[in-house]
């Protein structure tokens, strides 16, 4: 069992995500909550680097080791880092529960040491027709995030 944790931070935003994967062929589970976001949908992505030395810009782009276009988590054509959207309630809080078979904590494309970033707007899942739809989901600027840090296995 591989485990990792992410402390999510941003201006007025905080949260904690725990990740687990039983075997390399099993799905990765991402669970937790985030507070301080504006109500509505926000894109959430895994980015290439866990480098926060210059804020969220130093995380580089969405993790895409297979050179795919941006898409929805359930799409065949999607980047590894495409986690879709989180839904934030009127109190500014969202509960996160993602089960994903493409995201890995185990193996050569592990996301441990990378980052999870929340965007200001809704991810159009590559279907919006905007010039950024196929690369970022046109989900706006990066507003919060954190490094995927390895955690003790159980």
Q: Domain boundaries in the chain?
A: 2-151
Residue 46, pLDDT score: 99
pLDDT at 40: 98
Banded model confidence at residue 153, pLDDT cuts 50, 70, 90: confident
Nearest CA to 132 among 38, 73, 61? 61
**pLDDT 10s digits, 117-130:** 999 999 999 999 99
How far the first Cα of the chain sits from its last, in Å, is 7
> 2-151: what fold?
Immunoglobulin-like (2.60.40)
pLDDT tens-digit profile of 55-107? 999 999 999 999 999 999 999 999 999 999 999 999 999 999 999 999 999 99
Q: What SS3 state is found at 69?
A: coil
Q: Is 134 within 8 Å of 127 (Cβ atoms)?
A: no
Strand partners, 9: 14, 145
pLDDT band at 135 (very low <50, low <70, confident <90, very high): very high
Q: Is 26 helix (H, G, I), strand (E, B) or coil?
A: coil
Tell whether the model's pLDDT for residue 154 goes beyond 90. Answer: no
Asked whether 149 and 6 are in contact (CB, 8 A), the reply is yes
3-26 pLDDT, tens digit per residue, is: 999 999 999 999 999 999 999 999
């Amino acid at each position: 069992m591989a485990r990792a944790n992410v402390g999510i931070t941003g201006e007025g935003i905080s949260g904690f995500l725990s990740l687990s994967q039983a075997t390399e062929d099993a799905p990765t589970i991402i669970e937790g909550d985030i507070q301080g976001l504006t109500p509505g949908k926000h894109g959430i992505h895994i980015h290439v680097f866990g480098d926060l030395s210059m804020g969220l810009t130093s995380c580089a782009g969405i993790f895409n080791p297979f050179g795919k276009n941006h898409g929805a988590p359930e799409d065949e054509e999607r980047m590894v880092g495409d986690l879709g959207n989180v839904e934030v309630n009127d109190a500014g809080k969202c509960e996160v529960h993602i089960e994903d078979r493409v995201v890995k904590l185990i193996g050569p494309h592990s996301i441990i040491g990378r980052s999870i970033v929340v965007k200001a707007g809704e991810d159009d899942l590559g279907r919006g027709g905007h010039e950024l739809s196929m690369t970022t989901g046109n989900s706006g600027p990066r507003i919060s995030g954190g490094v995927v840090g390895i955690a003790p296995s159980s």
